[in-house]
């Protein structure tokens, strides 16, 4: 099987998991109907297509992918950079303010809520941020650092700042305290 054919099969498998949730067999018609009805599916569909084009060796396809991604950033306000490796079954419940660095490797069935930043601290040296399978990332989270690994089956609470490794099967959140000072 050729490399192009295997990448195409991977694209259809990802679209089936992302958009059809593997409940029905893949067909372009089913995918397009879901994309017409639901904006979050529309974004994921076009990002997967751009990512597929970007993974080719063709300069024309890479340029086209960059243009598509730029249009997606302007339209949806989500900046998932081309080069980020995102497994099947990604969920983006609210399409607002998500930023993902191109050096991120994200596993299967990951849910990322609004206003979340996942990125690399410094562009020198080791540049790798790995998020395992079945991870649930709350709203307004910031995951930043070099060479960070977040394990499988992890829940990250809302408004958390993560800059360290998290083991498998963990719940992680940042403790917050509010102080109210009344001016007299």
pLDDT in tens, 67-116: 999 999 999 999 999 999 999 999 999 989 999 999 999 999 999 999 99
- Which is higher by pLDDT, 177 or 75? 75
Give the pLDDT confidence score for residue 125 in this predicted structure: 64
How many Cα atoms sit within 13 Å of 13 on the Cβ side?
Answer: 10
Residue 179 in domain: no
**Is 84 within the bounds of a domain?**
yes
According to the model, what pLDDT value does residue 123 have?
65
* pLDDT at residue 124 is higher than 90: no
* 9 and 63 fall within a common domain: yes
Give the model's pLDDT for residue 43.
94
Do 91 and 163 belong together in one domain?
yes
**Pair 72, 83 in one domain:** no
Q: Are residues 87 and 70 in the same domain?
A: no
Residue 181 included in any domain: no
Q: What is the pLDDT of residues 36-54, one digit of tens each?
A: 998 889 999 999 999 999 9
Does pLDDT of 117 surpass 80?
yes
Question: Total domain count for the chain?
Answer: 2
Based on the fold, state whether residues 21 and 97 are members of the same structural domain.
Answer: no
Q: Is 62 a domain residue?
A: yes
Task: Verify that 132 and 95 share a domain, yes or no.
Answer: yes
pLDDT at residue 1 tops 70? no
99-105's contacts with Cβ under 8 Å and 24+ in sequence apart are 101/129, 103/127, 103/128, 103/129, 104/129, 104/130, 104/131, 105/129, 105/130, 105/131
Residue 21 has pLDDT above 90, yes or no: no
The pLDDT value given to residue 2: 74
Cβ 28 vs Cβ 43: under 8 Å: no
Enclosing domain of residue 16: 1-76
- Distance in angstroms (rounded) separating the CA atoms of residues 141 and 157: 8
Q: Are residues 93 and 64 in the same domain?
A: no
| Shared-domain flag, residues 89 and 137 | yes
> Are 70 and 89 in a shared domain?
no
Calculate ∠ Cα 143-82-172, nearest 5°.
15
Q: What is the pLDDT of residues 131-166, one digit of tens each?
A: 999 999 999 999 999 889 999 999 999 999 999 999
- 13 vs 48, 83, 102, CA distance in Å? 11, 18, 21
Q: Same domain for 11 and 85?
A: no
């Amino acid at each position: 099987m050729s490399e192009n054919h295997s990448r195409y099969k991977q694209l259809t498998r990802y679209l089936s998991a992302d958009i059809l949730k593997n409940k029905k067999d893949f067909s372009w018609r089913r995918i397009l109907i879901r994309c017409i009805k639901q904006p979050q599916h529309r974004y994921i569909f076009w990002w997967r297509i751009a990512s597929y084009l970007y993974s080719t060796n063709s300069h024309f396809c890479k340029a086209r992918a960059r243009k598509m991604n730029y249009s997606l950033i302007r339209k949806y306000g989500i900046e998932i950079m081309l080069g980020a490796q995102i497994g099947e079954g990604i969920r983006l419940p609210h399409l607002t303010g998500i930023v993902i660095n191109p050096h991120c490797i994200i596993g299967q069935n990951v849910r990322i809520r609004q206003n979340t930043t996942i990125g690399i601290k410094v562009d020198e040296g080791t540049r790798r941020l790995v998020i395992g399978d079945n991870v649930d990332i709350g709203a307004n989270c910031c995951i930043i650092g070099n060479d960070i690994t977040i394990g499988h089956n992890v829940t990250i609470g809302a408004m958390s700042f993560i800059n360290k490794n998290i083991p498998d099967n963990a719940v992680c959140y940042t403790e917050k305290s509010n102080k109210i000072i009344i001016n007299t």
